[in-house]
Structure 1
Amino acid sequence: MKRFWTALCSSPWLLLGLLLAPLGASATHIVGGELDLQHKSGSTYALTLNLYFDAINGDPNALDQELTAGIFAKGTNQRMANVVLPLTSNTFVQYTNPVCSVGGLSTRKLVYAKDITLDAATYTNATGYYVAVERCCRNITISNIVNPGGAAQTFYLEFPAVVRAGAAFIDSTPRIFPPLGDYACRNELFYYDFGGQDVDGDSLAYDMVTPLNGHATAAVGNTAPTPSPAPYSTITWNAGLGTANQIPGAPTLGINARTGRLTVRPSNLGLFVFGVRCSEYRRGVKIGETRRDFQLYVLACPTNVAPKAQVRAAGSLVTYRPGRDTLRLLPGGNRCLTIRYTDADPNSVLSMSARPVNFTTPAVAFTTSTSGTVRTAADTLTATLCFPACTDTKGKVYLLDIIVADNGCSLPKHDTVRVAFTAALAPNAAPVLTSTLPPAPLPVSDQAPAVVRVVIGQRYTATLAGTDADRDALTMTATGVGFDLGAVGMQFAAQNGTGQASGTFSWEPTCTAVAAAGEGGGLLVRFGLAETGPCVPVPQERLVRFEVVPAGETQTFIPPNIITPNADGVNDEFRMPSLPVDFCDRKFAAIKIFSRWGQKVYESEARDFRWSGAGTGGMYYYLVTYTDGRKFKGWVEVVP
Structure 2
Amino acid sequence: MARFYYLIFPVFLLLLASPAVRATHIVGGELDLQYQSGSRYQINLNLYFDAVYGNPGALDNSLSVGIFEKGTDRRMQNIIMPLVSNTDVAYSDIACTRPILGTHRIRYSTVIELPADKYTNPTGYYAAVERCCRNNSIRNIRNPGNAGQTYYLEFPAVMRGGKPFINSTPRIFPPLSDYACLGELFYYEFGGQDVDGDSLVYELSTPLNGHSSTAEPKPNQAEPQPYSSIQWMPGLDELKQIPGNPALTVNRFTGRLQVRPSQLGLYVFGVKCSEYRKGEKISEVRRDFQLLVEDCPKNIKPTMSVLMPGTKKAYQPGKDVLVLGPTTTRCLTLRFTDPDPSSRLSLSMHPVNFSAPIPAFSITQGTVRTAGFPDTLVSQLCFPNCLNTKGKVYLLDVIVADNGCSLPKRDTVRVAFTGIPDPNDPPVVATTAGPGLPLHVRIGDLVTFQVTGQDADADPVTLEMTGRGFAPASVGATMVQNTTGANVRGTFTWRVPCPTTDKFLYEFEFGAAASPCADRQVSPPLVVPIQIDYTNAPPTFTASDTVTVVKRHLGEPFTMTLEGLDTDQDALTMTASSEGLSMAAAGMRFTAQNGTGKSTGVFEWNPTCEGVDRTDMAVTFRLQEATCRPVAKTRMLRFELLRPEAPPFMPANIFTPNNDKLNDFFELPTLPPDFCESRLANIKIFSRWGNMVYQTTNRTFKWDGGGLPAGVYFLLIEFTDKSFKGTVTIAP
**TM-score scaled by length of structure 1:** 0.74
- Distance, in Å, in 2 between the alignment partners of 1:587 and 1:165 is 75
Give the deviation of 1:475 after TM superposition.
4.6
**Which of 272, 278, 283 matches 1:283?**
278
Alpha carbon RMSD of aligned pairs, Å? 4.6
Q: Counterpart of 1:105?
A: 101
User: What's the offset of the Cα at 1:177?
Assistant: 3.2
2:284 aligned with 1:295: no
**C-alpha separation in 1, matches of 2:455 and 2:209:** 76
Report the AA paired with residue 101 of structure 2: L
1:350–1:374 contact (8 Å) kept in structure 2: no
Change (3 A) 1:497 1:69: closer
- 1:609 corresponding residue in structure 2: 634
Deviation at 1:244, TM superposition (A): 0.6
Shift of 1:118: 2.6
For 2:201, give the aligned amino acid. A
Deviation at 1:402, TM superposition (A): 1.5
Query: Of the candidates 113, 116, 119, which is equivalent to residue 115 of structure 2?
Result: 119
Q: Of the two, which has the highest radius of gyration? A: 2
Q: 1:216–1:223: 8 Å Cα contact kept in structure 2?
A: yes
CA distance in 1, matches of 2:62, 2:160: 33
Of the three residues 234, 246, 249, the one matched with 2:244 is 249
Deviation of the 1:212 alpha carbon: 0.9
Q: Could you say if the C-alpha distance between residues 152 and 40 of structure 1 is closer, same or farther in structure 2, counting changes exceeding 3 Å?
A: same
Q: 1:234 to 1:46 in 2, by over 3 A?
A: same
Match for residue 345 of structure 1 among 340, 345, 348: 340
Task: Judge conservation of contact 2:619–2:636 (CA < 8 Å) in 1.
Answer: no
Cα distance change on mapping 1:389 and 1:507 into 2, 3 Å: same
Cα gap change, 1:486/1:190 in structure 2, threshold over 3 Å: closer, same or farther?
same
Partner residue of 2:76 out of 70, 73, 80? 80
The one-letter code of the counterpart of 2:193 is Q
Q: Tell me the equivalent position of 2:597.
A: none
Asked if the contact 1:128–1:158 (Cα under 8 Å) also holds between the matched residues in 2, the reply is yes
AA partner of residue 101 (structure 1): T
What secondary structure sits across from 1:99 in the alignment? helix
Q: Any conservation in 1 of the 2:440–2:533 contact (CA below 8 Å)? A: no
Aligned equivalents of 1:145, 1:258: Cα separation in 2: 27
Is the CA contact 1:490–1:508 (under 8 Å) kept in the aligned structure 2? Answer: no
Q: CA 1:424–1:491 in 2, change beyond 3 Å: closer, same or farther?
A: closer
1:454-469 to structure 2, matched below 5 A, reads 456-460=443-447
- Structure 1 residue 361 displacement after superposition: 1.9
> 2:172 matched to 1:156?
no
Which of these residues, 384, 408, 420, is aligned with residue 388 of structure 1? 384
Q: Distance in 2 between matches of 1:496 and 1:364?
A: 28
Secondary structure, in 3 states, of the residue corresponding to 1:611? strand
Is 1:409 the equivalent of 2:392?
Answer: no
- Quote the offset at 1:250 in angstroms: 0.7
Aligned pairs, number: 551
Cα pair 2:619 2:638 within 8 Å, conserved: no
Q: % of aligned pairs identical?
A: 49
Match of 2:495 among 491, 504, 508: 508
Which residue is equivalent to 1:17? none
> For the residues of structure 1 that align with 2:617 and 2:433, how far apart are their CA atoms?
51
Matched with 1:620 is none
Counterpart of 2:141 (choices 135, 140, 145) is 145
Does the CA contact (< 8 Å) of 2:3 and 2:179 recur in 1? no
User: For residues 397 and 160 of structure 1, do their structure 2 counterparts lie closer, same or farther at Cα, with a shift above 3 Å needed?
Assistant: farther
1:452–1:544 CA contact under 8 A, matched in 2? no
Which stretch shows the higher mean deviation, 426-435 or 177-186? 426-435
Correspondence for 2:513: 530
Counterpart for residue 208 of structure 2:
212
Q: Secondary structure at the match of 2:622?
A: coil
Letter in 1 for 2:522: P
What SS does the corresponding residue of 2:635 show, helix, strand or coil?
A: coil
Please state how far the C-alpha of 1:191 moved relative to its aligned partner: 0.9
- Retained in 2: the 8 A contact 1:526–1:541? no
Structure-2 residue corresponding to 1:69? 65
1:199 is the counterpart of 2:195 = yes
Alignment of 1:22-61 (within 5 A): 28-61=24-57
**Quick check: 25-34 or 239-248, which moved more?**
25-34
Residues 1:238 and 2:233 are matched in the alignment: yes
Q: 1:300–1:467: structure 2 CA closer, same or farther, 3 Å change rule?
A: closer
Say if 1:355 and 1:276 are closer, same or farther in 2 by CA, change over 3 A.
same
Residue 296 and residue 496 in structure 1: after superposition, are their counterparts in 2 closer, same or farther (change >3 A)?
closer
Shift of 1:531: 2.8
Query: CA distance change for structure 1 residues 460 and 415 in 2, over 3 Å: closer, same or farther?
Result: same
Alignment partners' CA distance in 1, 2:220 and 2:368? 54
Question: How far apart in 1 are the matches of 2:228 and 2:528?
Answer: 78
Equivalents in 1 of 2:87, 2:2: separation in Å?
27
Report the Cα distance in structure 2 between the residues aligned to 1:510 and 1:539, rounded to whole angstroms: 30
| Contact preservation (8 Å) 1:478, 1:492 | no
Contact 1:72–1:78 (Cα < 8 Å) also in 2:
yes
Q: Report deviation, 1:502.
A: 6.8
Q: Distance in 1 between matches of 2:570 and 2:528?
A: 19
Partners of 2:580 and 2:2 lie apart in 1 by: 105
Contact 1:522 1:545 in 2 (8 A): no
1:131 deviates by: 1.4
Post-superposition offset of 1:505: 3.0
Q: Cα–Cα, structure 1 residues 255 and 461, in superposed 2: closer, same or farther, change >3 Å? A: same
Cα displacement (A) at 1:478: 5.2
Give the corresponding residue for 1:262. Answer: 257
The offset of 1:172, in angstroms, is 2.1
After superposition, the C-alpha distances for 1:483-528 in whole angstroms (9 at most, x for unaligned) are 9989968576879886x777663423469xx9xx99x999998854
Question: Residues 475, 51 of structure 1: CA spacing in aligned structure 2 closer, same or farther, 3 A cutoff?
Answer: closer
Cα distance change of structure 1 residues 546 and 50 upon mapping to structure 2, 3 Å threshold: farther
- Cα 1:272/1:453, change in 2 over 3 Å: farther
Q: Does 1:190 align with 2:206?
A: no
Identify if the C-alpha distance between structure 1 residues 390 and 27 changes in structure 2 by more than 3 Å, giving closer, same or farther: same
1-side partners of 2:234 and 2:569: how far apart?
103
Question: Aligned residue for 1:539?
Answer: 522
TM-score normalised by length of structure 2 = 0.66
| Separation (CA, whole Å) in 1 of partners of 2:101 and 2:381 | 39
What amino acid is aligned across from residue 208 of structure 2 in structure 1? L
Check whether the contact 1:69–1:132 (CA below 8 A) recurs between aligned residues.
yes
Amino acid corresponding to residue 300 of structure 1 in structure 2: D
* Larger CA deviation: 290-299 vs 175-184: 175-184
Counterpart contact for 2:479–2:490, Cα < 8 Å: no
1:243-299 C-alpha deviation (Å, 9 max, x unpaired): 111011110000111111111111111111100111121222222121110011112
In 2: Cα distance, 1:583 partner to 1:70 partner: 93
Shift of 1:169: 2.7
* SS of match in other structure, 1:149: helix
Secondary structure (helix, strand or coil) at the match of 2:57 reads helix
Aligned to 1:327: 322
Task: Give the direction of change, closer, same or farther, for the CA distance of 1:166–1:506 in structure 2 (3 Å limit).
Answer: same
Residue 582 of structure 1 and its aligned partner are, at CA, apart by 14
- Code of the aligned partner of 1:610: R
What CA distance in whole angstroms lies between the structure 2 residues aligned with 1:420 and 1:588? 86
8 Å contact kept, 1:425–1:535: no
CA distance in 1, matches of 2:245, 2:159: 46
Letter in 2 for 1:41: S
